[in-house]
Structure 1
Amino acid sequence: MTDRQEQWLAAEQLALTLTEGGMQRMAARTLAVFLFTDRESVTAGEIIEQLEASAGSVSSAIKSLLTVGLIERLPAPGSRREHYQLRENAWATLFTSQNAVIQAMLQAAAAGIATTASSDPAHQRLTQMHDFYEFLLGEIPTLLDRWHQQSEPSTPRDHRRA
């Protein structure tokens, strides 16, 4: 087995783990492409080819990964195709206010709160949901500061087995 085949096997295993953790299968496989690529950016066509998947499923996966902030569009002067890359600090971004899902959860909770009486159990549950996401967003800057301080050393850690 070549090094590239071993890497792709590891990528597929990662995608399987992400899927078992709740991520949509194609989004997980697409994310694996971004994590394991040796290119600066990839196009939807390249992902389709790599995964041997349909254009529609890859398009949906890209949209999902854009929504949660894991990937971003890149300008590609002279190209008619959209180029994407794993966002710098993607994992930190996943939990910030740039994450459209967290914002949507806050808005949905607020909308529910506005339509229920304060004595209604639904109001109390929705308030707890809203308070949790608001708390989470309030705590994230401190966590990210700690993360950036920890990850600053110029020498990356080697997590491979000896």
Structure 2
Amino acid sequence: MADTTAAAERMALILAEGGLQKATARVMAAFLFADSESVTATELTEELGVSSGSVSGAIKMLSTVGLIERVPAPGSRREHYRLREGAWATLMSAQNGTVQAMFEAADQGIAAAGKGSPAARRLAEMRDFYGFMFRELPALVDRWRALRTAGPGSDA
């Protein structure tokens, strides 16, 4: 069995620098590097040396955004969780709501600041960027899913 502790901690650091809370980042890294198909909250608490409340909050957040899911574990009285198949595409699909909200907020900001103002100019760039992302993300996610379905080495 490989010792992936350093790699997992590095991944957690990168995730935390990207905006995740530290405990959530460490839980996510633990899911990515798990040696088993599923893990329990208790296993995560013991492995990471963090409070059960931190793990519970991280599991709730990661479940809410579609990265992990609860799975059946016959014979176990504990809840088991795993990284969801297709998690990254699911996350980017869910991000469309955020992208749309940013677009709308920028558009409302332009109206509030008044066209032609310096703020409106900056907000227009923001609106245009998020409008572009909102239009393009679904096609990118679809292409990714097609590549995954086609299998390794495919140019789908």
TM-score (ref. length: structure 1)? 0.68
The within-5 A match list for 1:11-160 is 11-96=8-93, 98=94, 136-152=133-149, 154-155=151-152
Q: Which amino acid aligns with 1:19?
A: A
Cα distance between partner residues in 2 of 1:107 and 1:81: 43
| Equivalent pair of 1:70/1:86 in contact (CA under 8 Å) | yes
| Equivalent pair of 1:67/1:101 in contact (CA under 8 Å) | no
Q: Residues 34 and 104 of structure 1: is their aligned pair in 2 closer, same or farther, counting only changes over 3 Å?
A: farther
Q: Which one has a larger percent helix, Structure 1 or Structure 2? A: 2
Deviation at 1:70, TM superposition (A): 0.9
Cα distance between partner residues in 2 of 1:140 and 1:10: 30
- Tell me, what secondary structure is at the counterpart of 1:73? strand
TM-score (ref. length: structure 2)? 0.71
| Equivalent pair of 1:7/1:36 in contact (CA under 8 Å) | yes
Q: Which amino acid aligns with 1:74?
A: V
Identity among equivalent pairs (%): 57
| Equivalent pair of 2:27/2:58 in contact (CA under 8 Å) | yes
Q: Residues 69 and 33 of structure 1: is their aligned pair in 2 closer, same or farther, counting only changes over 3 Å?
A: same
Deviation at 1:25, TM superposition (A): 0.5
Q: Residues 71 and 127 of structure 1: is their aligned pair in 2 closer, same or farther, counting only changes over 3 Å?
A: farther
Q: Which amino acid aligns with 2:79?
A: E
Cα distance between partner residues in 2 of 1:65 and 1:22: 13
- Aligned Cα root-mean-square deviation (Å): 3.4
Q: Is there any run of 5+ residues in structure 1 with no aligned partner, and where?
A: 113-124, 157-162
Q: Residues 56 and 131 of structure 1: is their aligned pair in 2 closer, same or farther, counting only changes over 3 Å?
A: farther
| Equivalent pair of 2:32/2:83 in contact (CA under 8 Å) | yes
